[in-house]
């Protein structure tokens, strides 16, 4: 009896072909959009996905200030940070974050869905978030992607 040997192809980082996608965040729900973004940044949407190699694509998010939350999260959800000093814990609601730094809403949601290691940090660098409708990446000819 003949045995067959099947091997899984492992992609090297030099062989990865990256695409550019642009997503309009206007009216999109943050969590649902962030899961799709994290999947594309990791490269899990490609048949050549390799867990230990950054096979993901570049993503541009426009209109980040117009994303929405469901329920009462706009006023109840808090983003916390801590300086390391006593009394150094600070928090902001979504409404305050949207007023001061709207890009951070999407960045924090996506960062939490990526691996917490060197590979995850490299993947996160391929995310470009802009509060308004314009972006400076027209030369890369990004494809429009529905979130």
Question: Could you say which residues of the chain have pLDDT below 50?
Answer: none
Q: Is residue 130 part of a domain?
A: yes
Residue 111, helix vs strand vs coil:
helix
Non-local (6+) Cβ contacts of 55 within 8 A are: 11, 16, 42, 43, 46, 48, 49
Q: Do the domain assignments include residue 90?
A: no
Residues 136 and 102: their CA atoms lie apart, in Å, by 18
Q: How many domains does the chain have?
A: 1
pLDDT of residue 83: 97
Note the pTM of the prediction, 2 decimals. 0.90
Domain with residue 39: its CATH number is: 3.90.1180.10
Q: pLDDT digit string (tens) for 23-47?
A: 999 999 999 999 999 999 999 999 9
Residue whose C-alpha is closest to residue 126's, from 45, 49, 61, 32: 61
Contact 42, 124 (CB under 8 A): no
**Residue 9 has what pLDDT?**
80
> Is 86 within the bounds of a domain?
no
* Span between the terminal Cα atoms of the chain, in Å: 50
Domain ranges, residue 30: 19-68+101-138+140-144
Question: Is 41 within the bounds of a domain?
Answer: yes
What are the CA-CA distances from residue 52 to residues 3, 44, 75, 110, 118 (Å)?
29, 12, 39, 19, 10
Residue 36 lies inside a defined structural domain of this protein: yes
Residue 35 lies in a domain: yes
């Amino acid at each position: 009896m003949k045995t067959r040997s099947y091997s899984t192809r492992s992609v090297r980082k030099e062989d990865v072909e990256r695409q550019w996608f642009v997503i309009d965040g206007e009216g999109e729900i943050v969590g649902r959009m962030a899961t799709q973004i994290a999947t594309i940044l990791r490269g899990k949407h490609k048949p050549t996905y390799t867990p230990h190699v950054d096979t993901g694509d570049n993503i541009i998010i426009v209109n980040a200030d117009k994303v929405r939350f469901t329920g009462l999260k706009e006023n109840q959800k808090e983003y916390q940070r801590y300086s390391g000093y006593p009394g150094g814990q600070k928090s902001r609601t979504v409404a305050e974050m949207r007023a001061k730094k709207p890009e951070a809403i999407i960045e924090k949601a996506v960062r939490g869905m990526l691996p917490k290691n060197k590979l995850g940090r490299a993947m996160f660098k391929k995310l470009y978030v802009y509060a308004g409708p314009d972006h400076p990446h027209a030369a890369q000819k990004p494809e429009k992607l529905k979130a």
